[in-house]
Amino acid sequence: MVETDHVAQRLDPKLYILSVSKFFKDLGTGILAFLIPLYIVQTHSVFVPEIPDVVKAGIVTTVFGLFNAFSQPISGRLSDRLDKRKPFVIFGLAGFIAASVLYSYVYVFEHVVLLRAIQGITVGAAVPAIIAMVTHFSTSSTRGRAIGIYSSMRGFGYGIGAMVGGIVATYYGFTAGFYLCAFLGLISLLLVQFFVGETHDRHEKQITYLNNSGSLQFHALAFAMFIMMVGIMIIFAFLPEYEVRLQSSQLSLSIAVSAYVISRVTLQTPMGMLSDRYGRKRLILYGLLLNIPVVLGLGYVTRVEELIVLRALQGLCMASVETPVMALAVDLAGGASVSARVSSITSAQAAGTAFGPLIGGLLGGYVSFAMPFYVCAAMMAVSLLIVIHMVTEPQLARNIDRDPRRS
């Protein structure tokens, strides 16, 4: 029995290869997330020449998130129907590489928006497949740990990506940054192509039986993830504004952006293990509750050091929410149609990535600097209440699946 339990706690080595491959791609994603809001200041708009820079930053980030969110449910259902994951991952990485190169050749704002839309579609097509592969490399008793490890690796890449983006932009320019992103995407593609095999769905009938409570819980979790990402991404519309208000350099702003991800990736695996042991819902509620005052504080920072501290606290909040939400969604799916089920969560995450900068850009550009932070905090309080009343955790699910391997 002890040996069986020990085997059940082991993770498939391919999980680590997949996680490392995503580290390189999301390092490039982090670089782009930092560079593009600053790069579009140098572009001109054909249709709206007088558009404020803060609105341009919000739009260009929003377009990527919207098309990312749009493509995920479609690709998730198609992935489940074909019972294939790897082709979707390769397609997404190829699209990321191509768009990263093309940024170097566009100087019109609308062209940047078009490229972000294309990149959003291709990258979004890969997300449900990747999450499904991660769950296939784990069991219900190790799911939180597996998702934590994967999320930590890709999040670490994203976090230092912002810092690398600041260094590259300062000393080498935007073109070098875009080509670097393409190279990192190529590394990721080669690792997946040659070292990660295909995976297939497993049906966990017992878990499905325990959690046959309808789709409302998925919607509640998706809404919570959406609001969390709005609170995280809202500051990207304000990077040019923070640069002026705080009299900070591009490098110091990149450190503030990176502080969130460094904190998050440091804590995601421990949070995943805690969710395996003590339950998912409790950690989700703690993260939502703590993020309310943190988001409000972002509207009143007077020094870049304060911004760095608040972003680090947001990393703690996100670690407490993201990993348990993903693990709980897979538990509720019961191992069946994982890509389609999880896509409701990941597409909501992408939509939050999109609407966060848009909310910040529109309210900050046309109402007041602090208004978007108040709106976001209020929405987060609503999501907290929704999770409390609508989500019921499957307490027995973590003890059912003892098969440690998937092929």
What amino acid is encoded at 403 in this protein?
A: D
Q: What is the DSSP letter of 105?
A: G
Max CA separation in the chain (angstroms):
70
DSSP three-state, residue 140: coil
Whether the per-residue pLDDT at 6 is higher than 70: the answer is no
Lowest-confidence pick of 303-317, 332-346, 363-377, 391-405: 391-405
pLDDT at position 335: 59
The architecture (CATH level 2) of 12-392 comes to Up-down Bundle (1.20)
Query: What average pLDDT does the chain have?
Result: 83
pLDDT, tens digit (0-9, with 9 covering 90-100), for 303-343: 888 999 999 999 999 999 988 888 888 777 765 566 777 78
**Around 202, how many Cα atoms within 13 Å sit in the side-chain half-sphere?**
22
What percentage of the chain carries pLDDT values higher than 90?
29
Whether the per-residue pLDDT at 176 is higher than 60: the answer is yes
Cβ atoms 51, 105 nearer than 8 A:
no
| DSSP secondary structure string for all residues of 16-60 | HHHHHHHHHHHHHHHHHHHHHHHHGGGSB-SS-TT--HHHHHHHH
Distance between CA atoms of residues 254 and 235, nearest Å:
12
Structure tokens at 278: 């003590």
What amino acid is encoded at 400 in this protein?
A: I
State the pLDDT confidence band at 1, using cuts at 50, 70 and 90.
Answer: very low
Cβ atoms 46, 110 nearer than 8 A:
yes
Contacts of residue 367, defined as CB under 8 A and 6 or more positions apart, other chains included, come to none
pLDDT at position 3: 46
Mean pLDDT calculated for residue range 84-92 = 93
Q: Token pair 């320019």 is at which residue?
A: 173
Mean pLDDT calculated for residue range 329-358 = 76
Distance between CA atoms of residues 250 and 243, nearest Å:
7
What does pTM read for this prediction? 0.72
Distance between CA atoms of residues 117 and 130, nearest Å:
20
Mean pLDDT calculated for residue range 79-106 = 92
State the pLDDT confidence band at 244, using cuts at 50, 70 and 90.
Answer: confident
Report the residue count for the chain: 407
Mean pLDDT calculated for residue range 283-287 = 92
pLDDT, tens digit (0-9, with 9 covering 90-100), for 13-22: 888 999 999 9
Mean pLDDT calculated for residue range 237-254 = 80
**Around 35, how many Cα atoms within 13 Å sit in the side-chain half-sphere?**
30
Mean pLDDT calculated for residue range 91-95 = 95
pLDDT at position 202: 61
Report H helices in 137-215.
143-171, 174-195, 205-210
Q: How far is CA 24 from the centre of its chain?
A: 15
What percentage of the chain carries pLDDT values higher than 70?
90
Q: What is the dihedral of CA 206, 211, 214, 215, to 10 degrees?
A: -100
Distance between CA atoms of residues 354 and 22, nearest Å:
21
Structure tokens at 372: 């978007």
Whether the per-residue pLDDT at 193 is higher than 90: the answer is yes
pLDDT at position 393: 76
Mean pLDDT calculated for residue range 264-289 = 86
The residue extents of the domains of the chain are 12-392
Cβ atoms 331, 280 nearer than 8 A:
yes
pLDDT, tens digit (0-9, with 9 covering 90-100), for 30-59: 899 889 988 988 888 888 888 887 778 778
Contacts of residue 392, defined as CB under 8 A and 6 or more positions apart, other chains included, come to 213, 217
Distance between CA atoms of residues 159 and 271, nearest Å:
18
